[in-house]
A and B are shown apart, each in its own frame.
Chain A
């Protein structure tokens, strides 16, 4: 028998084995390093922000310099796909060690057991945590997260166009109408299905600002009279053509920075971004002038992935972040947002941004944009509500029927 075919087979088999081995090693993770240093990843969409991202990365570097056994690297995942990307990774038992979540995804992940309970890892009682946002970090007595950023919603207005901000809803609509001329619009908000999460954040202010709520804690109340009133106000403004219809948030925020939008309801996280787009813009901030002083807040907890092999090391980072001097630095980076603990703003930052106190004073009346009692189902309920509200905006149904339909669909969904 010839040796060549045999040699050929051996080479072929070796190549196949090599390929399989390469595939297997390629699929695995490094799981740390051989020098005794635990290498962790911290995923947050804010690492990709043009203004705050580099500063947050520098803040992480301060932690790395202070440690010889733990190193944390930033993983910037874009905001629109953050939840999907990270939750998919975590669902398959992988993913970053530390995650900065938004509330709907935080609730879904906590409910699915993808987040490590923190009670054994971080002694939260040691810190002066802000009570209002912190209460949402605990489920059935188990702590799943620590607030990384809390950002309250307020009314941003162009002070050149609006010398005195409106203080009632009637003044608000009158101001929006009077400012809308040519390519200038009195107001802007999200109103397209492509921005489902953003629409949910925006309509939340109208629902709660008119005394409504998505639930009473036990049952959904999507079609309650108060909700209808608040969403009717939202629809009336849409119908009045005082907003740039079809414009997404990126577009109308640029228009606001260019002086082509008079007002928008936004969270404190956008102060830095607005200044970044136009440092010369003369804008100010006031509470949202709706009948009830209740508005949304972006709560972004930091959590530890249940699948992380280095939970203690991840907790070391959280404890470092909670130290008073590091909280102050974090707050300076985050601008008008709050952090986990009570901190004093510096005189320099108050001089540069006098309206920071407006955001701080809203903390007690701000609520996370979740459905209380149905927290883990918030993304599903959000989809149903937004689709039906947009159907009403587009004239496919009257608002009351749309909310009745949303109530029915969401109730079926949550069982």
Chain B
């Protein structure tokens, strides 16, 4: 008896002369049917807007008259790259993304290592850690804004108490402290995600390898580098990639806390894009800024794939 025969339902055995009955799900079109909705969704909501954005970036188009656009070639790109404020925006974006990735993955790793150890109340601690990630971004931004408020905020009161208060107390209005404050809030919201993912990766680390390393005289750090890090490295790489892309396109937290200010201190690419589109009503310039963001994302993704492939080859050798 073949495997197919075994899986056939009782009473459905087909004789040699019986007509061939095909299940509706067995048609060669079935995969397309299942892929269709997803493909349609991507086409309508991603591919078409992306093509439209590419076109818009080569035009002068006003939000007030979007149907009347004028082809200007590379003018929008020349203008934004010739603008020192845009170069400053790129720098702020770079600082923001790098700090978010390092901060969120670093804090997540520390917390995951702590939660991976046996202690009483570990289950409760693991549940509590996920709260910032579960909270809606808007709520997080509003709470942070209140905590950082110059008049009523607890942060400045505490800093004042230890002699580190910001003069005037307006942390979010200070070009020096606004970006660190936004970064701290972002990392606070992100680290639970990285810690949960890394915790699951840590649980896949074979304990016998760690024990063998310890018996061979390896200290904690050496054991972490030689065993634990090797196992969790691909997860860290994936998290770093995700954090980079999410940080590049993060909008609501920054917008609600500072609107990109003061004096451009927290203006990232997406904030600049929004300002161009809806404050200045210049859809063409906004689309050009968006294209810069798309290109940066593509570079990051391609770069990370190349690095992953190189590491894989290295491991095979």
Contact = CB atoms under 8 A, between A and B. Distances in A.
Interface of A: 2, 4-5, 7-9, 12, 84, 87-88, 90-92, 108-109, 112-114, 183, 191-194, 196, 241, 244-247, 251, 255, 379-380, 383, 387, 390-391, 394, 396
Contact of B279 (A2, A7, A183, A379): A379
Contact of A247 (B24, B27, B150): B150
B65 interface: yes
A380 B278 CA distance: 11
Interface string B8-32: 0000000000000111100101000
Given A246-B149, A246-B151, A251-B151, A194 B280 contact: no
B22 A5 contact: yes
Contacts of A88: 63, 278
A194 B258 contact: yes
Contacts of B22: 2, 4-5
B157 to A, nearest CB: 12
A191 B168 CA distance: 13
Nearest to B278: A84
Query: Is chain A's interface secondary structure helix, strand, loop, or mixed overall?
Result: helix
Specify which of B63, B65, B152, B263 lies most central, judged by the most chain A CB atoms within 10 Å of its CB: B263
A159 to B, nearest CB: 23
B173 A5 contact: no
Given A246-B150, A255-B151, A396-B263, A383 B279 contact: yes
Given A9-B29, A194-B258, 18 more contacts: A5-B22, A5-B24, A5-B27, A12-B33, A87-B281, A90-B64, A91-B62, A112-B62, A192-B262, A193-B173, A194-B172, A244-B151, A246-B170, A247-B150, A251-B151, A383-B275, A383-B279, A390-B262
A124 B279 CA distance: 33
Contacts of B64: 87, 90-91, 108-109, 112, 114
B261 interface: yes
13 contacts: A2-B21, A4-B23, A5-B27, A112-B62, A193-B173, A193-B258, A245-B168, A246-B149, A246-B151, A251-B151, A255-B151, A391-B263, A394-B262
Contacts of B259: 193-194, 196
B27 A91 contact: no
Nearest to A247: B151
B198 to A, nearest CB: 35
* Residue among A9, A90, A244 with the highest chain B CB neighbour number at 10 A: A244
A396 B263 CA distance: 8
B62 A92 contact: no
Given A91-B64, A245-B168, A380-B280, A394 B151 contact: no
A246 B63 contact: no
A305 to B, nearest CB: 13
A12 B261 CA distance: 51
A256 to B, nearest CB: 13
B261 A194 contact: yes
B169 interface: yes
Q: How extensive is the interface on chain B, given as a class? A: 35 or more
B63 A87 contact: yes
A106 to B, nearest CB: 12
Given A387-B263, A390-B261, A390-B262, A112 B21 contact: no
Contacts of B24: 4-5, 7-8
Contacts of B65: 91, 112-113
A111 to B, nearest CB: 8
A147 B149 CA distance: 37
Nearest to B146: A251
B66 interface: yes
Given A246-B170, A394-B173, A193 B150 contact: no
> Most A CB atoms within 10 A — which of B149, B168, B172, B173?
B173
B223 interface: no
B174 interface: yes
Most buried by A among B23, B152, B262: B262
